Structure 1
Amino acid sequence: MHTEAVHQSQFVVLNESTTPVLSRLSFHAEEPFAATVAFRTERGRWIEWTFARDLLVEGLDEPAGLGDVRVRPDLSEDDDFLTLEIESPDGYASFELEREDIRTFLEASYELVPLGEESAHFDVDGLIEEISNV
């Protein structure tokens, strides 16, 4: 069976809490530039953020992101972790992600859409049609 998506679940630490939060990273070939991270709330709902897959790639080695999603290796006290920061008008959260989990997720996404070949998998005409039919 061939799939066009990669999903990876893991527990992450939110704002230095002692209680881990279930998270899920997702990548879909039909959206080759994007990755989505979702966090399960206490009420069983999922809160999702979509951002450039490149942020994860760059964030493995150096701070990446200028907007509401940032990935930084240098804020974590342990080299085995990355810090994912999310900011919105409603608040701020930081999560520690295992660096090896991010590498594994990215490698699986490269099998679907190799890095640098995103444009070949992106349906520009479909996006234009979707936007113009609003």
Structure 2
Amino acid sequence: MNSFLHKSLVVEVQAGVTDRCPVLAHLSYTPADPFAVTVVFSHDGRVLARWQLDREMVLEGLMRPVGIGDVRLRPESRGAARELRMEFFGEARADGGRHHAVVFAWAEAVGEFLAETRRMVPPGCEDVRVDHFLADILAGS
């Protein structure tokens, strides 16, 4: 069984009100962390940002708005194309605001990636090693 899944997509970062700039999004999934999807955004070989997202939240974001914290997802239409709008809020800026990015991905490609993760580890079949998790937490305190 393949123990790692990876897919690269061209996504668009919103720049200003209407302009969009293409960047690469590298999605990855491993059964060792069955609830998370990792997304690394890059441009010209440089990593711009790395986020770990809840797998089920991303799936829900394809159908309805989700998220109230640092990550907010919702479906959007652009002509005939369906997109996943991803809003990311980062650290505070000197002016009191927060760093903020809006990224649009082709919903069908994200959905196909999630379907593959669900074939690797179906919902409800995630192996959660609570003993290891607790040992890691206690070792850090």
**TM-score where L is the length of structure 1:** 0.87
* Runs (5+) with no aligned partner, structure 2: 93-98
Q: Is the 8 A contact 2:40 2:47 kept in 1?
A: no
Determine the structure 2 residue equivalent to 1:5: 4
**TM-score where L is the length of structure 2:** 0.83
Give 3-state SS (helix, strand or coil) of 1:63's partner. coil
Q: How many residues align?
A: 130
Q: For the aligned residues, what is the CA RMSD? A: 1.8
Question: Of the two, which has the highest radius of gyration?
Answer: 2
**Once the 2 structures are TM-superposed, how far is the Cα of residue 46 of structure 1 from its aligned partner?**
5.0
* Runs (5+) with no aligned partner, structure 1: none
Q: Is the 8 A contact 2:14 2:21 kept in 1?
A: no
Q: Is the 8 A contact 2:59 2:114 kept in 1?
A: yes
Q: Is the 8 A contact 1:34 1:52 kept in 2?
A: yes
Structure 1 distance, partners of 2:68, 2:83, is 20
Q: Is the 8 A contact 1:71 1:85 kept in 2?
A: yes
Structure 2 distance, partners of 1:57, 1:32, is 14
Higher strand share: 2
Q: Deviations over 1:73-132 (max 9, x none)?
A: 14x5345211011111240001111111111111110111102322xx111111111111
